[in-house]
Amino acid sequence: MKAYSLQLNLELGNIDKNIEKVLSYLKLVEKKSLVLLPEMFSCGFDNKNLEKHAKESPGIYKLLKQISKENNLVISGSLPEKNRYGIYNKAFIIDNGKITFKRAKAKLFTPTGEDKFFRAGKNNFDIAETTVGNLGIMICFELRYPNISYTYRKKGVEIILVPAQWGLSRKDHLETLSKARAIETQSFLILSDTTGEIGKVRYAGSSAIYSPWGERLAYIDSEEGIIEANINLNEIYRVRKKIKMEF
């Protein structure tokens, strides 16, 4: 199975431009693949206009569902969604044309004021059983919480997805933590980050795909682009058999 990660330089608040860019990359992926998009890929953290941007998310889901169905893709990322309680940064999984899983970001990044604009999701870290394997999602800052990846491993995760917008000043942390989460859970890990300057913030890039042994199967530094790797789920169980761990 092919897995892809998109690394994008978004234009703050410009949904049409950002989605056009996403669609151009989705044309490059093979059928029956897994594709990860960055956190808040439609608008970036254009926090003052989130209500307006959240209204566009249903249309984006509809578009991605169509592409997923036509190409037998599993697509994941995160978008802003609003309900009666407020606005959430919500991760999703679209599997062969259907939204099969959603969860809101539970660990908000307070240094940039996420907690002032978003409501935190519940600490319900369930895995999603999909046609490409058992998936667990850690949204950006959540990557710092080993208890989340530990929970996923106990529940049988095979691939950890990390949609992110991670700051450039913490680039080393991102690379170290991504590799560590793959090693400690003995799972594949796919990271999709943003890069360059978006609004007034510079982002780290470093999108990558890691093996259950911690090998970096694909990597992109600071440029925009798409990376890919072949994933064989049997590798997970070979590693887990070689080094048995109790969870």
Q: State residue 27's pLDDT score.
A: 97
The boundaries of the domain holding residue 199 are 2-242
Q: Is position 168 within any domain?
A: yes
Is pLDDT of 246 > 90? no
| Percent of residues, the chain, with pLDDT higher than 90 | 99
Output the six-digit token pair for 186.
């003995």
Three-point CA angle 92, 98, 99, nearest 5°: 20
Q: Is position 113 within any domain?
A: yes
**Average pLDDT, integer, range 166-193:** 98
Q: Is position 142 within any domain?
A: yes
Q: Is position 247 within any domain?
A: no
Distance, CA of 46 to chain centre = 19
Spatial contact of 148 and 173, defined as CB atoms under 8 Å apart: no
Q: Is position 196 within any domain?
A: yes
Q: Is position 55 within any domain?
A: yes
How many angstroms separate the CA atoms of 205 and 150, rounded? Answer: 25
Closest CA to 168 of 125, 135, 200: 200
Q: Is position 184 within any domain?
A: yes
Q: pTM for this structure?
A: 0.98
Distance, CA of 28 to chain centre = 19
121-172 pLDDT, tens digit each? 999 999 999 999 999 999 999 999 999 999 999 999 999 999 999 999 999 9
Is pLDDT of 247 > 90? no
How many domains, in total, are found in the chain?
Answer: 1
pLDDT band (50, 70, 90) for residue 182: very high
**Type of residue numbered 242:** K
Q: Name the average pLDDT for the chain.
A: 97
The CATH number of the domain holding residue 60 is 3.60.110.10
65-117 pLDDT, tens digit each? 999 999 999 999 999 999 999 999 999 999 999 999 999 999 999 999 999 99
How many angstroms separate the CA atoms of 89 and 51, rounded? Answer: 12
Q: State residue 215's pLDDT score.
A: 98
- At 70 the three-state DSSP class reads helix
**Average pLDDT, integer, range 209-237:** 98
